[in-house]
Chain A
Amino acid sequence: DVKVTQSSRYLVKRTGEKVFLECVQDMDHENMFWYRQDPGLGLRLIYFSYDVKMKEKGDIPEGYSVSREKKERFSLILESASTNQTSMYLCASSPTGGDEKLFFGSGTQLSVL
């Protein structure tokens, strides 16, 4: 069964901490995505990557960075966490082509205190 695995289900961090959210997929997909989900706002794209070491900003990249050193792993980094980054973070992957679905992980609920 195909899988997108997010390393933490729940995470609690303090303001100013550097936070790493990890995502691994086992489907050999080229594309990987980080979305943020907030009530009433739906899913908003933070960053995506279409190949190793390649990345593009999504709609809300401010305060975030990403790293993709290996094809299967896509990391989201909060350089200095702030309370307004408390949210559900969803990782997804897809093959190149545009007509294939996104496969989602179960999400990481991040609370910044």
Chain B
Amino acid sequence: AQSVTQPDIHITVSEGASLELRCNYSYGATPYLFWYVQSPGQGLQLLLKYFSGDTLVQGIKGFEAEFKRSQSSFNLRKPSVHWSDAAEYFCAVGVYNTDKLIFGTGTRLQVFP
């Protein structure tokens, strides 16, 4: 069965530091992969998505993610975090032959000034 694992529940970084949020998936074929961000009290907003092609995907707000098939990973990165990036981040995989998504348990990012 398809699944998504986000091994880090909570990450704290200083403003200006680099960031990497981990995501591992379980899927038999080439997956559709997504990263969403949820600010406090808000719904989820799409940061970026991967379907095929270039394995390095650029998203909004300066985020990027790299698909690594050999590691079954789709880690989210940002070279320099801003205080406004404090939020919860969800990785998701598309369910084969449907329009459904399976979400990971999320990583809460805290940013210190």
Chain A residues close to B by CB (< 8 Å) = 4, 31, 33, 35, 40-45, 48, 50, 58, 90, 92, 94, 96-102, 104-107
Q: Quick one: which of B36, B43, B90, B103 contacts A106, CB cutoff 8 A?
A: B43
Contacts of B45 in A (CB 8 A): 104
**CB of B83, distance to nearest CB on chain A (Å):** 22
Provide 21 A-B residue pairs closer than 8 Å at the C-beta atoms, listed in order of the A residue.
Answer: A31-B99, A33-B100, A42-B6, A42-B90, A42-B104, A42-B105, A43-B44, A43-B103, A44-B103, A45-B100, A45-B102, A48-B99, A58-B100, A96-B99, A97-B99, A98-B32, A99-B94, A101-B46, A102-B101, A104-B44, A106-B42
Number of interface residues of B (CB under 8 A): 25
A97's nearest neighbour on chain B, judged by CB, is: B99
**CB of A100, distance to nearest CB on chain B (Å):** 8
B interface, by DSSP: helix, strand, loop or mixed?
Answer: loop
**CB of A62, distance to nearest CB on chain B (Å):** 18
Q: Mark B95-112, 1 if CB is under 8 A from A, else 0.
A: 001111111111000000
Residue pair B94, A98 in contact (C-beta under 8 Å): yes
Contacts of A48 in B (CB 8 A): 99-100
Chain B residues close to A by CB (< 8 Å) = 6, 9, 32, 34, 36, 41-46, 49, 51, 90, 94, 97-106
For the complex, what is the distance from the CA of A102 to the CA of B24, rounded to whole Å? 20
Given contacts A98-B32, A99-B32, contact A4 B100 (CB under 8 A): no
Q: Quick one: which of B97, B100, B103 contacts A42, CB cutoff 8 A?
A: B103
